């Protein structure tokens, strides 16, 4: 049995963006890519372009910040 691997920062960012957008189609639209291309990245079948990773980070940056007390 293979040990479970930890998601990469890129995979984690894409999963947060996917959750934030509510699915693959809305995320693909927000990123300006096709659903088919997004699907390949989400499943780790193709390398995620740096520009898309940066967009995903920007999309989720506000959610991760804590508001000042």
H, E, C per residue of the chain:
CCCCCCCCHHHHHHHHHHHHHCCHHHHHHHHCCCHHHHHHHHCCCCCCCHHHHHHHHHHHHHHHCCCCC
Mean pLDDT, the chain, whole residue set: 87
pLDDT tens, position by position, 22-35: 999 999 999 999 99
Determine which of 11-15, 40-44, 65-69 has the lowest per-residue pLDDT on average: 65-69
Name the residue range of residue 46's domain. Answer: 9-61
Is 18 domain-assigned?
Answer: yes
Residue 49 has pLDDT above 90, yes or no: yes
4, part of any domain? no
pLDDT at residue 3 in the model: 61
Q: How many CA atoms lie within 13 A of 47 on its CB side?
A: 3
Report if residue 17 sits inside a domain.
yes
């Amino acid at each position: 049995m293979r040990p479970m691997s930890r998601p990469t920062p890129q995979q984690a960012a894409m999963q947060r963006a996917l959750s934030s957008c509510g699915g693959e189609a809305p995320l693909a639209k927000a990123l300006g890519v096709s659903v088919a291309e997004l699907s390949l990245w989400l499943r780790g079948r193709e390398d995620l372009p740096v520009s898309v990773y940066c967009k995903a980070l920007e999309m989720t940056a506000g959610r991760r910040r804590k508001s000042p007390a």
